[in-house]
Structure 1
């Protein structure tokens, strides 16, 4: 089958389109014919080698963390899916590879595709929707009447986070450019801050939660907007000791991550704020719950561009540029470009 192969780690390297062996599903896996996949900053960071210490993939391997498609065969132990089902998923770490025509996915990572979405729309959601669910529902336990600051509101995570936070009953502030202000307001943002001309850290106070996906300077400045007992949750790092323990990393890596996060943890403690790092995990059960929110209109996908499979490297370059509003999708079943 055709797939895009990462031959070696390297910043901004192009992936090679080539032939690889067809995956054979294990007893608990489902073989999916991929109709569409989506690109994430995570793919670029893995390609660049930034995650080698915690996600030690050995080149050559396939990237790709999002997919929507059709079940073409199932393993002997699979009970929840059958041939012909339309599904979507974020495959678990160690089993990624959706930049390909087919993929074997663990049954527990899959969910039926929302009925009201195209394959391209469904493919745009798994990684970002699971990230948002695990930040807002699991980690922050966001409640009605609370206030949350969501950085980069026009991005892939931000567009979904604003919608879910509003569904949960929170007041939502977000940072974005003036050009994207109307977009984030249409998603439900109550307070919109132009990061180019305004300083969020002097404008906001008494917030319960901050979702950070930006740099270390933004992370530290976010402490100022939180009230005592507030929660600062970062999906862009630095990883903390709790994450290292959960990942089962060795003693040396645990020490490294403890040192990397020492400064922000110390400053958070001084501000009486809880700092934590979240690296999302695959979860088909959560995707099933998210599908219901999509089908009832609570959450809608946001797609910037759709590329053809032949244009995947161009799509990667566009994601790397940081200009995307919402998600960038690659379609394997139509020839349309961006």
Structure 2
């Protein structure tokens, strides 16, 4: 079964009770923010949503990319490092999202978000200084990309200019974790050199996206396509997909996600990363839903018990939301490619349904695991 390798010392800067309260409050806030982000996305398609969600439709991308994913990644890392002071990063990020939804000054929310990313960057940098590993360097560079995107948003008040940095954060975070697991199936030096070249290309393209967006975004797309090829070739998921149970499910999520990552890169080479391009929605959501969310679905049964202390029982039913996500995303992408708004809208609604289905599956599996534990405790 796949496992995550964690480095770093644990800290007890906060009492156990305070760490538990902070973790639970952070998890609840993150889930609420994600739900608001999804509903805000539906509002952009003219779907009937609550009035408050409609007023926050413009925050869809911000709520999902730097806030939801930023909070999730920093919370997972904080828990892996033992909580304590590391929990301040996800708490700050979640607070920034709540401030946006509450209608507080945008500049204040931007500053709090940047502060959260700064704390996460400090944790990642400290970990790298203690353990000079390539995957930890890529993780730190991913957090730096997130921080850079937050800074761009604060300075320009234009979230679209920050999107490349936010996306690089997600892509590099996943790539670093997959690189870490290649130690279980060692790669040749030239493969690691190619990986480094891809990462450097991505970072350079992100840094040039504001002054020279046209060439920079095409280089960004090329790095996505190259990374998809690298992961497909060298990821241990090629081996674990032949196993069974949760291990195989994770591999299926990853390998299918690499297909969407490749499509996102290919569309970007055709100019789709330009926000005015008719295929922009297809490229963006092939990456965020097809690649990032697919990975999240695969690792949720592992991450949730670690972060929220909630056991889940894996079963074949976990494939249902994954299949639904891919099917509805295919509809959405087809709608974008054919310039068919109704089809794209139907796909977007289907995406939301697939995510809701996954939440239902996770909740049901958690209840099943809880009941199973009770029966075992009573000797039945």
TM-score, normalised relative to structure 1: 0.30
Q: TM-score, structure 2 length as denominator?
A: 0.27
* Bigger share in helix: 2
The structure whose residues are more often strand, as a share, is 1
